[in-house]
């Protein structure tokens, strides 16, 4: 089975991670294309093994790949130029659409897939908060492309808390990552020498994951009622994961992972974080126990291979 993934931007690496993971299967040949990489300090950090369409040779490779593809997997959106190139090859492949973003917020302010002029064979949605927007799509979890930790960091020294929001914009419903109350709380905690707040600059996802393994706690965001890729990576790194993921977001994750346990997220919000986070930090033995629980849950239920197998079943029409 030949698969072509195509996206307008790297989408934080999600298409590339999926493509790389299913490529590990003997019967699958998968190649991901990105129209434009992120600019500036994020350039090159989220493309994985994807081909960036930045020269005539890469566009020629896209043409060749489309002609032999069994599945063309479109992520979020593609440009008119790219769509015309694909359709002009008269592909015999089936088309799959995969949405990664909420409705009525950038980059998708409407149901883009309805404007592409394609009769999609399957439609997929990221299995976090997104299924409540696209109730007739097949949910699929994101993949953590790094090897899970073999041992969690102890709490004998300083308790290390990592907070690395992908952006600091506010005013959205589902895309906000930061909040004034969390910022105030972290600044107060940072004054206590028993704790260390880690706020790295823009580094590669692999370097950030290695840094996360040296920490005890990962904070995702406590604003929207969901969780993001950071929470999954926090579990894989053996961290206590703090977010505000609500019942629906959690149940999507637990169902898709076939978990018989509740996901071990620690829920906080802007109204209680100034009280609950210091309370948690006062119990180091409990933190260490929760770290081990996170790592155990990830290894038992959230392996990348499980998500890759689900995606292949979608391609084969089993879902």
Cis peptide before 172 (omega within 30 of 0): no
Ordered by start, the domain boundaries in the chain are 2-144+304-315, 159-301
Contact (CB, 8 A) for 218 and 241: yes
pLDDT score for 303: 94
H-helix segments, 40-170: 56-67, 80-88
Query: How many whole angstroms separate alpha carbon 164 and alpha carbon 200?
Result: 6
Q: What is the pTM of this model?
A: 0.93
pLDDT score for 173: 67
Looking at the domain that runs over 159-301, which CATH code has it been given?
A: 3.40.50.2000
Provide DSSP, 211-266: HHTT-SEEE--SSSS---HHHHHHHHTT-EEEE---HHHHHHHHHHTT-SS---EE
Residue ranges of the chain whose pLDDT lies below 70? 167-173
Query: How many whole angstroms separate alpha carbon 160 and alpha carbon 214?
Result: 8
Contact (CB, 8 A) for 263 and 254: yes
If residue 294 lies in a helix (H) or strand (E), which one and from where to where?
helix 284-301
Tell me the per-residue pLDDT of 165-193, one tens digit each, with 9 for 90 and over: 876 666 666 777 778 899 999 999 999 99
pLDDT score for 171: 61
Tell me the per-residue pLDDT of 111-150, one tens digit each, with 9 for 90 and over: 999 999 999 999 999 999 999 999 999 999 999 999 999 9
pLDDT score for 169: 67
Is domain 2-144+304-315 classified as CATH 3.90.550.10?
A: no
pLDDT score for 168: 64
Number of H helices, E strands in the chain: 10, 12
pLDDT score for 104: 74
């Amino acid at each position: 089975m030949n698969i072509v993934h195509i996206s307008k931007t790297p989408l934080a690496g999600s298409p590339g991670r999926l493509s790389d993971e299913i490529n590990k299967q003997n019967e699958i040949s998968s190649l991901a294309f990105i129209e434009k990489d992120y600019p500036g300090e994020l350039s090159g950090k989220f493309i994985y093994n994807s081909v960036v369409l930045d020269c005539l040779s890469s566009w020629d490779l896209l043409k060749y790949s489309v002609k032999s593809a069994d599945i063309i997997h479109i992520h979020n959106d593609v440009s008119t130029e790219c769509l015309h190139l694909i359709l002009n090859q008269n592909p015999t492949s089936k088309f799959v659409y995969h949405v990664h973003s909420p409705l009525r917020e950038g980059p998708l302010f409407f149901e883009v897939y309805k404007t592409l002029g394609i009769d999609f064979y399957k439609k997929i949605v990221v299995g976090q908060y997104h299924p409540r927007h696209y109730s007739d799509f097949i949910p699929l979890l994101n993949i953590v492309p790094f090897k899970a930790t073999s041992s969690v960091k102890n709490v004998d020294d300083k308790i290390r808390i990592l907070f690395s929001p992908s952006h600091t914009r506010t005013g959205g419903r589902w895309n906000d990552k930061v909040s004034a109350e969390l910022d105030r709380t972290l600044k107060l905690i940072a004054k206590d020498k028993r704790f260390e707040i880690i706020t790295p600059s823009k580094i590669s996802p692999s370097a950030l994951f290695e840094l996360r393994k040296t920490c005890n706690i990962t904070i995702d965001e406590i604003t929207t009622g969901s969780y993001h890729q950071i929470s999954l990576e926090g579990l894989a790194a053996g961290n206590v994961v703090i977010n505000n993921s609500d019942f629906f977001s959690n149940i999507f994750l637990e169902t898709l992972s076939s978990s018989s346990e509740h996901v071990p997220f620690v829920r906080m919000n802007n109204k209680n974080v100034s009280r609950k986070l210091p309370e948690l930090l006062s119990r180091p033995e409990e933190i260490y126990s929760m770290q081990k629980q996170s790592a155990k849950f990830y290894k038992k239920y959230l392996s990348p291979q499980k998500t890759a197998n689900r995606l292949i079943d979608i391609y084969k029409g089993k879902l």
